[in-house]
Structure 1
Amino acid sequence: MNRLNRKSVLLAAAALLPPALTPSAHASSHYSGNVDFAYTISATNRNANGDMGFLSITDLFESGSYGESGSSTHAPSYQAFNGLGVLHNVSLQAQDSIQLGAAVSDYFSQLLISFENISLDVSDIFDISIDFSYSINAQVAGENADAEVQFSYSNEDFSLDNFDLAHASLDGDLFAEVFGFKSFGFVLSAGQTENLYFDSSVKGELEATVVPVPAAIWLFASGVVGLLGVQRNKPLKA
């Protein structure tokens, strides 16, 4: 290889050096969590001459944060109850990503569905059922990250009661996912009520530090820079 070609190779290698010549590099950490929940309610009146209008169904949705960082974001989504036999969707997504430092965020959502038989006729007895499915997942990447996604549901007397958790961390699974499906039925006589509770949460903890560049890279960089200096001091020959 002549000196001209040798210099071209060295210049090409030098072009790769600026990122490596910094005394340190920033690590990064990221997490994301999702809860997707869908439900359908159906009901009938045992009283053939009764009115379904005496069944009152209302819902209340709330979402917020127990704690968040300046870089974290969340996106709750809620479809209000608008009829029997209709598929309704509720979701909660949260994520955070940092290049340096530490961050903690904790988001939640709560859905309350209330049922009341407002009829004064004891013959009006409602058979009610709710079918719902859900999926929860957590994912992490980077230097130090941990994420927990939770979904739970219950009623007043806890005859409906369950809790599911998806946990991801760099010490375990980087991605975790859980699916569930449930059908629940109950009866409301005149004047009776029932409440169903659905709770979601996404929590993440991140940490990213300065990562020193390995000594071997510094030795390589010094060698290339030295060779470039020698080449500059020698005249090129044809």
Structure 2
Amino acid sequence: MHYNSAPSKAWSAGESSKMNRTKGNIILAWLGGLALLCLTAGAQAAPLNLVTSWPDIQANDLDVSYTAATGSLSVQPSVTLLMDYSQDGTAFTAISNPGLSLSATVDASGSLSGGSFSISGDGTTLLSGTLLDFGYATLEGFATFEFLLNVDGGTLASDYGSRAGMILGGLAQGFSGDFSQDFAINGMMGDTKMVVPVPAALWLFGSGLLGLVGVMRRSAG
């Protein structure tokens, strides 16, 4: 399934503008925070070091919750979920009736033992599969979660191939990298892209710059 580049009526101009501004601010915070992460000994981090590439499903207002007693970590949309899709970064199209769910089992050390995900929209499943790995980082009040995904279904599976990555970012809201305690983070932004593992330094600049270019293109449009 391929989306065309025609503007969608699913969002109002105000909603799109608000998402662009919010996403741009958070991505800039990621860039600054992750750069400091390489230099700050006190930062909490166990990142996957993934670089992302197109295509991209972008989402806002995602809630992350974790229950330490069961090791259950989940990602669900809040009351209002907006998602859009770009195959190559040149244009984004809004996804109607969007849905996203991710469930994982993560132990007290932050290690993944299993999980699954599903992304839906336009009346069908866009991507689905299982979780292969999990990483996270926190610094200066911001948190980033990374999920390496095995794609095995959905109408966009041929665009992504067998591997994708979901990266969530936002205010840490009390999460400090400690998986021995329950936590809940509301209103995170997310990108689900095709990913290629590279050394950490390249991931720092590659993923950040690709995200920043995407936001700049959307803002310019």
Q: Decide which structure has greater strand share.
A: 1
Same fold, TM exceeding 0.5?
no
Give the TM-score, by structure 2 length. Answer: 0.23
Determine which structure has more spread, i.e. the larger CA radius of gyration: 1
Give the TM-score, by structure 1 length. Answer: 0.22
